[in-house]
Chains A and B, each alone.
Chain A
Amino acid sequence: MSDLAYSIVTRDLSLWYGEFQALRSVSFKARNGLITALIGPSGCGKTTLLRCFNRVNERYGNVTTTGEIRLLGKNIYDEDVSLIELRKSVGMVFQRPNPLPLTVYENIVFGLHIHSPARLNASALDEAVEQALTDVGLWMDLKDKQKSKATSLSLDQQQKLCIARLLPLKPEIILMDEPCSALDVEATRQVEELMLELAGRYTIIIVTHNMAQAKRVSHECAFMLMGELIEHSRTEDLFIRPLDKRTAEYIEGRFG
Chain B
Amino acid sequence: MFEATDQTRRKQRQESAIKYLLTTMTVIIVLPLLLIIFYLFYKAAPILSLEFLLENPIHGMRSGGIWAPLLGTIYLVLISLLIATPVGIFAAIYLNEYSRESWMTRVINLAVVNLAGVPSIVHALFGLGAFVLFAGIGRSILAASLTLAIMTLPVIIASTKEALAAVPHSFREACWNVGATRWQTIRNVVLPNSISGILTGVILQVSRAAGETAPVMFTGAVFFKAIQTGDPFAYGLLDQCMALSMHLFTISTQVPDVPDALTYGTAVVLLGVVLLFNALAILLRIKLRGKKKW
Contact = CB atoms under 8 A, between A and B. Distances in A.
A111 B189 CA distance: 13
B100 interface: yes
Interface string B168-195: 1011111111111100100011000100
A61 B173 CA distance: 13
A59 interface: yes
B179 A98 contact: no
A250 B213 CA distance: 70
A56 B181 CA distance: 11
B174 A98 contact: yes
A106 B293 contact: yes
B100 A62 contact: yes
Nearest to B179: A87
Contact of B184 (A62, A114, A162): A114
Given A61-B101, A62-B100, A96-B170, A165 B179 contact: no
A206 to B, nearest CB: 15
Contacts of A106: 293
Contact of A99 (B100, B172, B174, B178): B174
B179 A115 contact: yes
Given A62-B101, A101-B292, A102-B293, A88 B171 contact: no
Interface stretch (A19-27, A78-86, A215-223): A78-86
A227 interface: no
Nearest to A115: B179
B32 to A, nearest CB: 40
A92 interface: yes
A162 B173 CA distance: 12
Which of A94, A100, A114, A169 has the largest count of B CB atoms less than 10 A from its CB?
A100
Contacts of A204: none
Contacts of B181: 84
B193 A92 contact: no
A54 interface: yes
Given A106-B293, A110-B188, A169-B179, A61 B100 contact: yes
A40 interface: no
Nearest to A162: B174
Contacts of B101: 61-62
A79 B38 CA distance: 69
Nearest to A82: B179
B176 A87 contact: yes
B173 A94 contact: yes
Contact of A88 (B172, B173, B179): B179
B171 A110 contact: no
B189 A83 contact: no
A98 B173 contact: yes
A91 interface: yes
Given A61-B100, A61-B101, A62-B100, A100 B171 contact: yes
B63 to A, nearest CB: 56
A166 interface: yes
B292 to A, nearest CB: 6
Nearest to B180: A114
B179 A111 contact: yes
Interface in B257-294: 292-293
Contacts of B175: 100, 110, 114
A85 B189 contact: no
Which of A61, A85, A92, A169 has the largest count of B CB atoms less than 10 A from its CB?
A92
A82 B242 CA distance: 56
Contacts of B170: 94, 96, 98
A182 to B, nearest CB: 12
A86 to B, nearest CB: 7
Contacts of A88: 178-179
B131 to A, nearest CB: 39
Interface of B: 100-101, 168, 170-181, 184, 188-189, 193, 292-293
9 contacts: A56-B176, A62-B101, A87-B176, A88-B179, A92-B173, A100-B171, A100-B189, A110-B178, A113-B188
Given A87-B176, A101-B193, A102-B292, 9 more contacts: A87-B179, A92-B173, A92-B177, A96-B170, A98-B173, A100-B174, A101-B171, A110-B178, A115-B179
- Which 10 residue pairs spanning A and B have beta carbons closest together? A87-B179, A98-B170, A92-B177, A111-B178, A88-B179, A84-B179, A98-B174, A114-B180, A56-B176, A114-B184
